[in-house]
């Protein structure tokens, strides 16, 4: 791999530092990895987007007058965490509400939603829209839906102009949803993509083949086919998009976007094809964008985005914009800086946060789980997840993006450290400390889900000194219900829930039994549930993009959930 890198681990931080130096008109919060406009927030709806890094100039390059107010940068191809997004919301709040622009990936959606909830609790009005324009992926209620790709750029421009005009949060959101309804995209890869931390191409693409319908993280597309000429490739992209939405007799804004390693001469050549092909279908291209706007690190390839335009959209498209990645027109008139933004009310402190237990280390009765045992559970889980890190990531490589082991091992080790530092003295506080540690250190889909599990688990137990089987069952059920409602998933969809739900059911069936019997049955249920995911077709998360092709592989989240349950079993029963 030949790349301009000092250390793969600091690529995002060093690039952000470079942006800060190159663009004094921006303010980079290096701690939270958020790019803001310099100066005070203005009295307008704040527009925030973000996601994994590696798609530059998206999103940080689109911060500035006429476009975004803040952009949140995750690790390369990994969604940012809720506290990062929350920092962006707080730092750009002009008192008129905030709209989050989320690309449709489970990890992004969950992490941004959690941030919106945190901000809501403080009295900040936050709404969000989810961009899902990639026609390469079947749109189905049985999957995570379509990926968000190129349309995000056009949306940020158009909606940015509306916010700059002083439109209200509800009208800005309505406009964003109109753009989402009227735009479609599809991409094609000529080469694979190499992540700095991995050092070799993410997927194998022979010199003679191309991936039609590729995703911006190198996700598989519609088909792999031998190389074709530009006219044939453009025809397939135009055909796929116009077959999905009828653009006939409509003026359109068109983007031909480079994926990072395609020369501009080829992009213009493609634009020449695209405009003529669209004209043959009765689509009149009235505005365009040709260049690198939403990239996939060093992938060679391009994507095509077509957006149906009306008068309102065209007016906003033509409005001036001044950002590092897109500049047009002079003198963007921004709203006045906010003189004083009222400090939002603090989130309520829950009752059990202040409870101090007099007797922390209870004597073990043999049929209950003590605070110390819950701490041992976390430590054992962290050890086992670390030992199985590579195995879990291999499972994720087969049907996802190969980060699950690293994600969850890192998160659980942070949770253990936080517990050691905070030394919480109630089950509620243990759950909260561990849950928030996971939420703020894991990212991806599993961070908010496991984080929610532990938050709810602890909350449910309340003020007791020891957990009996009935309380454990109730706490487990509360945690599982939290995961279900956050991820909108159920049993049988090939996720961590295929372990967590059977375990909750088992514990409930054992409420009158001994703790040891309940946990050995729970362990068994966890292993069975995990193994049953092999034959399932994924319907949630990243793996759902693979459809039938996800069958035959164990779900990585189910495997890590089984390790968690096994670790609890170990604390009570031993090996």
- Residue 540 site contact among Mg ion, ligand ADP, none (CB < 5 to 8 Å, cut-off depends on kind): ligand ADP
Query: Whole-number minimum distance, CB 496 to ligand ADP, in Å?
Result: 4
Based on the shown chain and the rule CB under 5 A, indicate whether residue 219 belongs to the binding site for Mg ion. Answer: no
Minimum CB distance to ligand ADP smaller for 58 or for 561: 561
- Residue 107 site contact among Mg ion, ligand ADP, none (CB < 5 to 8 Å, cut-off depends on kind): ligand ADP
Residue in 396, 460, 493, 555 binding Mg ion, rule: CB under 5 A: 396
Instruction: Give the Cα separation of 74 and 60 in Å (integer).
Output: 11
Minimum CB distance to Mg ion smaller for 396 or for 566: 396
Minimum CB distance to ligand ADP smaller for 69 or for 401: 401
Query: Whole-number minimum distance, CB 558 to Mg ion, in Å?
Result: 13
Q: β-strands 251-258, 301-308: how paired?
A: antiparallel
Question: Residue 541 has what DSSP assignment?
Answer: S
Query: Would you give the end-to-end CA distance of the chain in angstroms?
Result: 43
Instruction: Give the Cα separation of 248 and 486 in Å (integer).
Output: 39
Q: How many CB atoms lie within 10 A of CB 146?
A: 22
CA distances in angstroms from 470 to 393, 505, 529, listed in the order given: 35, 12, 22
Minimum CB distance to ligand ADP smaller for 368 or for 502: 502
Query: Whole-number minimum distance, CB 74 to Mg ion, in Å?
Result: 12
Query: Whole-number minimum distance, CB 493 to ligand ADP, in Å?
Result: 7
Is 120 assigned a catalytic role? no
Active-site residue identified among 23, 59, 217, 553? 217
Closest CA to 31 of 78, 77, 86: 86
Site for ligand ADP, rule CB under 6 A: 106-107, 396, 400-401, 403-404, 407, 444-446, 449, 483, 487, 489, 495-497, 540-542, 555-558
Query: Whole-number minimum distance, CB 400 to Mg ion, in Å?
Result: 4
Query: Whole-number minimum distance, CB 74 to ligand ADP, in Å?
Result: 10
Minimum CB distance to ligand ADP smaller for 152 or for 242: 152
Instruction: Give the Cα separation of 441 and 391 in Å (integer).
Output: 20
Residue in 64, 400, 482, 569 binding Mg ion, rule: CB under 5 A: 400
Tokens of 497: 């829930």
- Residue 489 site contact among Mg ion, ligand ADP, none (CB < 5 to 8 Å, cut-off depends on kind): ligand ADP
Is 59 assigned a catalytic role? no
Closest residue by beta carbon to Mg ion: 400
Minimum CB distance to ligand ADP smaller for 378 or for 445: 445
Closest residue by beta carbon to ligand ADP: 557
- Residue 428 site contact among ligand ADP, Mg ion, none (CB < 5 to 8 Å, cut-off depends on kind): none
507 neighbors 473 (Cβ within 8 angstroms) = yes
Instruction: Give the Cα separation of 24 and 16 in Å (integer).
Output: 12
254 neighbors 274 (Cβ within 8 angstroms) = yes
- Give the chain's radius of gyration (CA, Å): 25
Instruction: Give the Cα separation of 230 and 211 in Å (integer).
Output: 14
Query: Whole-number minimum distance, CB 73 to ligand ADP, in Å?
Result: 16
71 neighbors 60 (Cβ within 8 angstroms) = yes
Active-site residue identified among 23, 55, 404, 553? 55
**Residue 237 C-beta-side C-alpha neighbours within 13 Å:** 37
Residue in 401, 460, 555, 566 binding Mg ion, rule: CB under 5 A: 401
Whether a cis peptide bond, with omega within 30° of 0, leads into 59 is yes
SS3 letters across 210-272: EEECCCCCCCCCCEEEECCCHHHHHHHHHHHHHHHCCCCCCEEEEEEEECECCCHHHHHHHHH
Query: Whole-number minimum distance, CB 550 to ligand ADP, in Å?
Result: 10
Minimum CB distance to ligand ADP smaller for 444 or for 529: 444
- Residue 445 site contact among Mg ion, ligand ADP, none (CB < 5 to 8 Å, cut-off depends on kind): ligand ADP
Q: How many CB atoms lie within 10 A of CB 420?
A: 12
- Residue 432 site contact among Mg ion, ligand ADP, none (CB < 5 to 8 Å, cut-off depends on kind): none
Interacting residues with Mg ion between 402 and 441 (CB under 5 A):
403-404
Query: Where in the sequence numbering do the catalytic residues fall?
Result: 55, 217
Q: What residues line the site for Mg ion (CB under 5 A)?
A: 396, 400-401, 403-404
């Amino acid at each position: 791999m030949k790349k301009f890198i000092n250390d793969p681990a600091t690529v995002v931080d060093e690039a952000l530092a470079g942006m800060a130096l190159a663009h004094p008109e921006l303010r980079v919060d290096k701690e939270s990895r958020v790019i803001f406009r310099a100066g005070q927030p203005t009295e307008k709806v704040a527009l925030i987007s973000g996601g994994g890094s590696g798609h530059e100039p998206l999103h940080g390059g689109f911060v500035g007058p006429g476009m975004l107010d803040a952009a949140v940068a995750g690790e390369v191809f990994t969604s940012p965490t809720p506290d990062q997004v929350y920092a962006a919301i707080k730092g750009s709040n002009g008192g008129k509400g905030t709209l989050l622009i989320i690309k449709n990936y489970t990890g992004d959606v969950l992490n941004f939603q959690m941030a919106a909830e945190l901000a809501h609790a403080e009295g900040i009005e936050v709404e969000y829209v989810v961009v899902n324009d990639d026609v390469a992926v079947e749109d189905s209620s049985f999957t995570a839906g379509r990926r968000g790709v190129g349309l995000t750029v056009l949306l940020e421009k158009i909606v940015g102009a509306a916010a700059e005009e002083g439109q209200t949060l509800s009208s800005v959101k309505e406009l964003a949803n109109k753009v989402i309804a009227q735009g479609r995209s599809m991409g094609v890869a000529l080469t694979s993509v190499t992540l700095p931390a991995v050092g070799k191409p993410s997927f194998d693409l022979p010199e003679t083949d191309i991936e039609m319908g590729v995703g911006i993280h190198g996700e598989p597309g519609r088909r792999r086919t031998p190389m074709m000429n530009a006219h044939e490739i453009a025809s397939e992209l135009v055909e796929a998009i116009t077959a999905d939405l009828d653009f006939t007799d409509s003026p359109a804004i068109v983007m031909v976007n480079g994926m990072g390693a395609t020369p501009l001469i080829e992009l213009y050549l493609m634009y020449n094809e695209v405009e003529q092909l669209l004209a043959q279908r009765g689509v009149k291209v009235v505005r365009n964008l040709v260049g690198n706007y939403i990239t996939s690190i060093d992938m060679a390839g391009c994507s095509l985005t077509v957006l149906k335009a009306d008068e309102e959209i065209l007016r906003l498209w033509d409005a001036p914009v001044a950002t590092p990645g897109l500049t047009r027109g002079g003198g963007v008139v921004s709203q006045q800086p906010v003189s004083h933004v009222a400090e939002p009310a603090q989130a309520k402190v829950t009752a059990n946060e202040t409870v101090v237990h007099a007797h922390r280390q209870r004597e073990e009765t043999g049929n209950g789980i003590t605070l110390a045992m819950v701490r041992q559970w976390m430590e054992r889980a962290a050890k086992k997840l670390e030992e199985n890190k590579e195995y879990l990531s291999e499972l994720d490589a087969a049907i996802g993006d190969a980060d699950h082991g690293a994600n969850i091992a890192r998160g659980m080790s942070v949770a253990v450290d936080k517990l050691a530092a905070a030394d919480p003295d109630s089950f509620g506080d243990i759950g909260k400390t561990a849950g928030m540690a996971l939420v703020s250190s894991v990212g991806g889909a599993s961070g908010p889900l496991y984080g929610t599990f532990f938050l709810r688990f602890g909350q449910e137990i309340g003020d007791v000194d020891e957990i009996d089987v009935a309380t454990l069952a109730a706490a487990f059920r509360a945690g599982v219900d939290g995961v279900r409602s956050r991820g909108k998933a159920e049993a049988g969809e090939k996720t961590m829930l295929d372990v967590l739900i059977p375990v909750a059911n088992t514990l409930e069936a054992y409420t009158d039994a001994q703790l040891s019997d309940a946990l050995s049955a729970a362990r068994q249920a966890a292993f069975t549930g995990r193994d049953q995911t092999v034959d399932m077709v994924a319907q949630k998360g990243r793996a759902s993009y693979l459809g039938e092709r996800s069958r035959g592989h164990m779900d990585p989240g189910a495997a890590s959930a089984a390790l968690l349950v096994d670790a609890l079993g170990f604390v009570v029963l031993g090996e």
